[in-house]
Amino acid sequence: MISFFRKIRQKLLSQNKVTRYLVYAIGEIFLVVMGILIALQVNNWNESQKNKATEQKLLRELKDDLSATLEDLKSDIVIASEHLAISDSIYTSLYLKEEPPTDISIDFWFLFKRGSLFAKISSYESIKNTGIDLIQDDALRIQITNFYEMSLMRIVNLESIIAKNRDEIQNILISQKFKQSTSCDTCKNLTELLSQENLDKNILTSINAKTLATDTEFNQSLKLHFIRYNTLNRYYLDAERDIEQMIQSLNDYLK
């Protein structure tokens, strides 16, 4: 093909047909440019199709991760609600009634059971490593990044604060001011003693409820516990709503 065009150029030049040669040269340049543009277009289309396939794969994985995270979140919401109910009940009995009760009881699990959101983030990390702009829908991209970079981090930080307060302050106070009112006489080892069945039966009873009713430190500890769990529960509910909306958005987009 190249030799064919070369022969035409040589023939036009040998015949001293400059004008026709220039027209031909322009035409040849035009063909070359068109060929390059078509090749670029094809290459761009192939690249776009490859990116689209990668986007679809990662978003499907993200939807699966969000569904798993949602299931874990639902159990955390239940635990947070239980902590709120118990804290409120104890505080009301001790500090908001004219006569304090003779004793206060707390389920043993209150010392140890805590919500902790284990969000699956592997697919989001893959999206970040590939490039967040891979998500072509602007609204969906913003929705996803806001959840993982803001909402989720907010939950993780507050859970850490609550865990630190419970381990270093609240649980120590409860251990000092409450005693275990039931035990497992038939338990032969720690495995049996600390089984879920026995923990559910164990009750912590206040050593002196009247003293607790005037205990400022315990009062503040309970209020702080309630305030933080109330905030955490709100964060959980917001996250639940956000995840459900993202899953719906992903379903619509992946169609």
Q: Please indicate, yes or no, if residue 183 is contained in any of the structural domains.
A: yes
pLDDT of residue 167: 85
**Placement of tokens 């679809």 in the chain:** 56
Q: Please indicate, yes or no, if residue 164 is contained in any of the structural domains.
A: yes
**Placement of tokens 């338990």 in the chain:** 187
Q: Please indicate, yes or no, if residue 8 is contained in any of the structural domains.
A: no
pLDDT of residue 123: 94
pLDDT of residue 210: 85
218: Cβ–Cβ under 8 A, 6 or more apart, which residues? 94, 173, 177, 212
Query: How would you write the pLDDT of the chain (255 residues) with one tens digit per residue?
Result: 555 545 555 554 455 555 654 555 666 666 667 767 776 776 666 666 687 888 999 999 999 999 999 999 999 999 999 999 988 988 998 888 878 788 888 877 777 777 789 999 999 999 999 988 889 999 999 999 999 999 999 999 999 999 998 888 888 888 888 887 656 667 777 676 666 665 556 777 888 888 888 889 989 999 999 999 999 999 999 999 999 999 999 999 998
* Range(s) of the domain holding residue 178: 54-254
Q: Please indicate, yes or no, if residue 125 is contained in any of the structural domains.
A: yes
Q: Please indicate, yes or no, if residue 69 is contained in any of the structural domains.
A: yes
Please choose, from the candidates 32, 34, 40, the residue with its C-alpha nearest in 3D space to the C-alpha of residue 5.
Answer: 32
pLDDT of residue 42: 63
Q: Three-class SS of residue 135?
A: coil
pTM of the model: 0.77
Q: Please indicate, yes or no, if residue 216 is contained in any of the structural domains.
A: yes
Burial class (CB in 10 A: 0-12, 13-18, 19+), 97: exposed
How many structural domains is the chain composed of? 1
Q: Please indicate, yes or no, if residue 43 is contained in any of the structural domains.
A: no
Q: How far apart are CA 21 and CA 9, in angstroms?
A: 7
Q: Please indicate, yes or no, if residue 11 is contained in any of the structural domains.
A: no
